[in-house]
Copies of this chain bind each other. A is one copy, B any other.
Amino acid sequence: MARFIKSNKEFIGISPDSIRFRGEKKTDSTLIKLTRYNENSLSENTIGEIEDLTDLYKPGFTSWLNIDGLHDMDLMRQLPVNLDIEPVIISEVLNTHARPKVIEYDNCLYIGLKMLHYLGDGITIKTENIVFVVKEGVLITFQERTGDVFDPVRERLKNAKKRIRRLGADYLAFTLIDIIIDNYTYLISRIGQDIETLDEKLLRSANDDILHQINKFKSELIYLHKSILPGKEMIYHLIKMDSEYINEDSLVHYRELQSNINHAVDSLNNYKEILSSQLNIYHTQVSSRLNDVMKFLTVFSVIFIPLTFIAGIYGTNFVHIPELHYKLGYPVMLVAMAIIAVGMLVYFKRKRWI
């Protein structure tokens, strides 16, 4: 399947509020968790039945509803009613291949983003679409599967003294987006480290393996670029739109996000430039080594050519070749050959051809 853009013929032309799952199913079960907190208390509940999901908004509290797994269409069709959001939003959530974007709806703010996970030492990037719906006192997050990068926030929430406990849903959304962007930075720094290591390797020996790695990194950077750049645009618009769902006080944090994602994109572009430099160095090294070999071999051949020619002359069967009958004919020829060979070597050395 195409990695950079995905499209399924059967979903072309469906209604924008049609509740149909358009991604790949990445989990078997749906996990719904409601975290509700204010300065004084914090409760975490797993919601078993969709019917239990009522009165999401509770005055004086911030309610965070996290839904992992989007394949249960019965549940999804029920959500607009229970969560008091437009069906078009759920429909959008189900299109996990959508481009990151921000849209302000009548009673909420929709933010879509790509979450990247980095697995193990090799380059294994897992992409997951994540949607934030910010309402008055409520944050709803939709994930394609269980497992995310939000554990540090969950830790902070447990500490009643933390600022996050006093601030609202928009601040919670910020902290989660912040982590996602910090993960971009981390991912790029990991790959960047490997790219910078190539510099020294290149100077030592430019082999196929390095070339292969350069091409691999290049293609990974294009993929990262594709995942991150629309996020930069999204945050730019998010700040500019001055949404009623983002507090004036939180805006300074969102501006911080902008700086961070700009930093990530800058670095991506820098590494692209560096890779392209490295590719150049690789080709220069390879061709320079080939040139050395070919020059050596050619010079080697050229030195034997006149010698073989001389031997050829004295190998002719002319009846009258006086030199053949000289007593010292043979050793003189050998010495002459040696002189010619040495002369040519000296000449080539001087010309810096060898």
Q: How far is the CA of A330 from the CA of B319 in the complex (A)?
A: 8
Chain B residues contacting A271 (CB-CB under 8 Å) are 4
A189-B15 in contact (CB<8A): no
Q: How far is the CA of A5 from the CA of B194 in the complex (A)?
A: 12
CB distance from A112 to the nearest CB of B (A): 9
Q: How far is the CA of A313 from the CA of B299 in the complex (A)?
A: 21
Residue of B nearest to A284 (CB): B211
CB distance from A332 to the nearest CB of B (A): 10
A316-B314 in contact (CB<8A): yes
Interface segment, one of A6-14, A24-32, A73-81, A136-144:
A6-14
Q: Which among B5, B320, B326 is the interface contact of A330 at CB below 8 angstroms?
A: B320
CB distance from A64 to the nearest CB of B (A): 15
Q: Does A298 sit within 8 A of B, measured CB to CB?
A: yes
Chain B residues contacting A297 (CB-CB under 8 Å) are 298-299, 301-302
| Known A-B contacts A105-B252, A255-B103, A309-B311; A15 and B162 likewise in contact (beta carbons under 8 Å) | yes
Chain B residues contacting A190 (CB-CB under 8 Å) are 2
B149-A7 in contact (CB<8A): no
Give the contacts of A309-350 with B (CB-CB under 8 A).
309, 311-321, 323-330, 333-334
B2-A196 in contact (CB<8A): yes
Chain B residues contacting A283 (CB-CB under 8 Å) are 284
Chain B residues contacting A16 (CB-CB under 8 Å) are 175, 178, 253, 256
Residue of B nearest to A203 (CB): B212
A302-B300 in contact (CB<8A): yes
Q: Does A219 sit within 8 A of B, measured CB to CB?
A: yes
Interface segment, one of A34-42, A48-56, A123-131, A273-281:
A273-281
Interface of A is mostly: helix
Q: Which among B153, B196, B286 is the interface contact of A13 at CB below 8 angstroms?
A: B153
CB distance from A323 to the nearest CB of B (A): 8
Interface centre among A267, A286, A318 (most CB of B within 10 A): A318
20 A-B contact pairs sorted by A residue (CB < 8 Å): A2-B190, A2-B196, A4-B271, A5-B189, A8-B186, A14-B152, A16-B256, A98-B259, A101-B259, A208-B288, A222-B273, A293-B298, A294-B294, A297-B298, A301-B301, A314-B316, A318-B323, A320-B329, A320-B330, A321-B330
Report A's interface with B, CB cutoff 8 A.
Answer: 1-9, 11-17, 88, 92, 98-99, 101, 103, 105, 149-153, 156, 162-164, 175, 178-179, 182-183, 185-186, 188-190, 192-193, 195-196, 199, 208, 211, 215, 218-219, 222, 225-226, 229-230, 252-253, 255-256, 259-260, 262-264, 266-267, 270-271, 273-274, 277, 279-281, 283-284, 286, 288, 290-291, 293-295, 297-302, 304-309, 311-321, 323-330, 333-334, 351, 353
Given contacts A101-B259, A226-B267, A305-B308, 6 further A-B contacts (CB under 8 A): A2-B192, A99-B259, A300-B302, A311-B316, A314-B316, A318-B333
